[in-house]
Amino acid sequence: MSQKTAQHGSWKSPVTSDLIVSATINFSSIKCDGSDIYFVEWRPTEGGRYCLVRHSDVTCDITPPAFNVRSRVHEYGGGAYAVADGNVIFSNYTDQHLYLQNNGGAPRLIFAESGMRCCDGVIDRRRNRFVCICEDHSRPEQEAVNSIVSLPLDGQGAKLQLASGNSFYSNPRITADGRKIAWLTWNHPNMPWDGCELWSGTLAEDGTLAESRLIAGGSDESIFQPEWSPDGTLYFISDRTGWWNLYRCQNSAVEALCPMEAEFGRPQWSFGYSTYAFLSASQIVATYTSQGSWKLALIDLTTRSIEPIETRFTDISYLQSAGRNIVFRGGSPQEAPCIVTLNISERLCKIVRSSSTTTIDAGYLSAVELINFPTEDGLSARGLFYPPRNKDYCAPDSESPPLLVMSHGGPTGQTSSTLNLEIQYWTSRGIAVLDVDYGGSSGYGRGYRQRLNGLWGVVDVDDCINGAQHLVRRGDVDGNRLMITGASAGGYTTLCALTFRNCFRCGASHYGIGNLEAMVKDTHKFEARYLDRLIGPYPQRQALYRARSPICHVDKLSCPVIFFQGLEDKVVPPNQAESMVAALRAKKIPVAYVAFPGEQHGFRQAETLRRVLDGELYFYSQVLGFTLADSVEPIEIDCL
């Protein structure tokens, strides 16, 4: 069939917002209980509900429709449930109370203190208790208080406080015999990927902490995922060499297992991450990232040798073990995220559940290219480039495609090469995409993460611009039609690029930061001191905060911007977007503001996701002047 000729952006695509929203879910928090596999499934079509699912011989929902398995600890949550012997304890989003389900029965309330949020727990079988992180919001006039507590499963006994006094805690983990516990802790101004401490202790018979000691970590060493092996040895991941590698503590001595220039850890934005699991006391299966791709390996704990396990997956997370099987969330450039089991002995993979129920002809899917490009100070940065592709269309010979630069959140996030239909939404319409791993991203060692220290709003912007210009020089895209988009921290990078530089024609901020001073004064506890490293201590560096805040320099902003904002966002409150919108309206610069009641930091509802995708496309079509192939609900654009 001959191709139709149409300008970039005007290609008709089967990758519609309706298809993406109706046919796509996502997974997190995998756990194994015997041979049963549990995981949390995010469902946009159910109002963004998080449902706990179990896979045994069949796959079925565990939590009833009235319950939403989601914690608000640190606002980002994660680690919202625990399971042992068929008994599930979970945090319900609406009330943040803890509920117990015995072997699939109806949820029963076991903990309901006002203002308390709980997550990242483990079941203490020895004492019939639940050990977890507790975040106390009972005094709104004060900063929340974090601690590790032990709660009775019958809801009748006393709450025991095991560890307190520091700003934050995570990863309480108990040995199989219930005698020892390990945990992570850190203090402001650190984030856990800057520096934290690993502690271990002995539990008395009544469940109280009898003694404790520091194992590893500090203000400049990040520890990740402490776990006890089946024989009671403490393992963990540390970046003390500049790379998140595996270690263990034996007889009070810490030893490295398989040192390498690769990352076994991830930034702990939420709870419940896992990148390794025990097959036995002498074997670990682990996943690590090198050069932007995640890999699997089998580690012999006796010889400390590492054996690669070949799979088709390039993004692997939430790794767990069940006998000789491992379970993880996997994805690849050809495959959307799915729940995967892999038999280690036979090396056979099985898909338990896929995040997408639709199949799209490969002729509409762009192939990803990992690019390294030069940036400031003689350094290089990385990104994933997706050229336009649609088997039904080609562009006029004289036309190069517009480019949409994506700036991820965090800013410690990392791009993923997993098939992402939202990226294919753009490329199948004739718009190229560059997903940038700017300096400050994770996955490339501590040094790469620290490039952003003191230079947020500079290094990330440099890298986004230099990535775009690299593709312009290669002849891949049209240098006069460059766009940039980002969410949260990526929204800040977007607004800085549009305000302080003259590279992009327009952009989109999804709940992005426009005022750094307001961010410091108005955000939640977890990120209250995050900017101490990224910008500098406040108020000592107030002048720098204002110099880096787009809202203070709207006189320099002269290109169109669209803002998407959740009205219940506690991380980046709506006043951030609204103040930017008001300033742009006053300047008569084309601007659009789309607000969503009921949405928080990160959009979760189907209708919101649909409106955001189509609205951003509509905005770009109006600014760049291309005709859409499909009818899209218009966005009101002021001053256009």
The pLDDT tens digits for 243-276 are 999 999 988 899 999 999 999 999 999 999 999 9
Q: State the CATH class of domain 4-16+366-624.
A: alpha beta
Domain ranges of the chain: 4-16+366-624, 25-354
pLDDT at 493 over 80: yes
DSSP category for residue 475: T
User: Is the backbone peptide bond immediately before 308 cis, with ω within 30 degrees of 0?
Assistant: no
Query: Average of pLDDT values for 531-557?
Result: 95
Average pLDDT estimate for 489-493? 96
As to burial, measured by CB atoms within 10 angstroms (0-12 exposed, 13-18 middle, 19+ buried), residue 475 is: exposed
What's residue 252's pLDDT? 86
Residue 5: CB partners within 8 Å, gap ≥ 6?
Answer: 393, 394, 395, 396
Percent of the chain with pLDDT over 70: 100
Q: What is the mean pLDDT of residues 388-392?
A: 97
User: Which among 159, 14, 154 is positioned nearest to 87, based on CA atoms?
Assistant: 154
- Dihedral of CA atoms 172, 177, 178, 182 in degrees, nearest 10, equals -30
Predicted pLDDT of residue 2: 82
pLDDT at 179: 97
Question: Does residue 31 carry a pLDDT above 90?
Answer: yes
Mean pLDDT of the chain: 95
Percent of the chain with pLDDT over 90: 88
**Cα separations in angstroms, 441 against 36, 319, 448, 450, 460:** 35, 22, 7, 9, 9
Residue type, 515: N
pLDDT tens-place string over residues 572-610: 889 989 999 999 999 999 999 999 999 988 888 889 999
d(CA 364, CA 376): 35
Overall average pLDDT of the 176-181 stretch: 96
CB-side neighbour CA atoms (13 Å) of 93:
19
- Measured distance CA(507)–CA(483) in Å, rounded: 5
pLDDT of residue 23 exceeding 80 = no
CA dist 322 and 105 (Å) reads: 24
User: Which of these, 90, 94, 168, lies nearest to 130 by C-alpha position?
Assistant: 90
- CATH class of this structure's domain 25-354: mainly beta
Bond preceding residue 539 cis, omega within 30 of 0: yes
Two tokens, residue 543: 């002048």
Q: Fold identical between 4-16+366-624 and 25-354?
A: no
401 CB-near residues (< 8 Å, 6+ apart)? 8, 387, 388, 395, 430, 431, 432, 476, 477, 478, 481
Q: With contact defined as beta carbons under 8 Å apart, do 381 and 467 qualify?
A: yes
> Do residues 48 and 239 make contact, with C-beta atoms less than 8 angstroms apart?
no
The residue type at 163: A
Sign of the C-alpha dihedral computed for residues 14, 16, 18 and 23 taken in this order: positive
Query: Where does the pLDDT of residue 553 fall: very low under 50, low under 70, confident under 90, or very high at 90 and above?
Result: very high
Question: Does the pLDDT at position 168 exceed 90?
Answer: yes
| Average confidence (pLDDT) over 78-94 | 96
Q: How far apart are CA 55 and CA 83, in angstroms?
A: 13
- Coil, strand or helix at 425: helix
Distance between CA atoms of 411 and 269, rounded to whole angstroms?
A: 11
Is the per-residue pLDDT at 1 higher than 70?
no
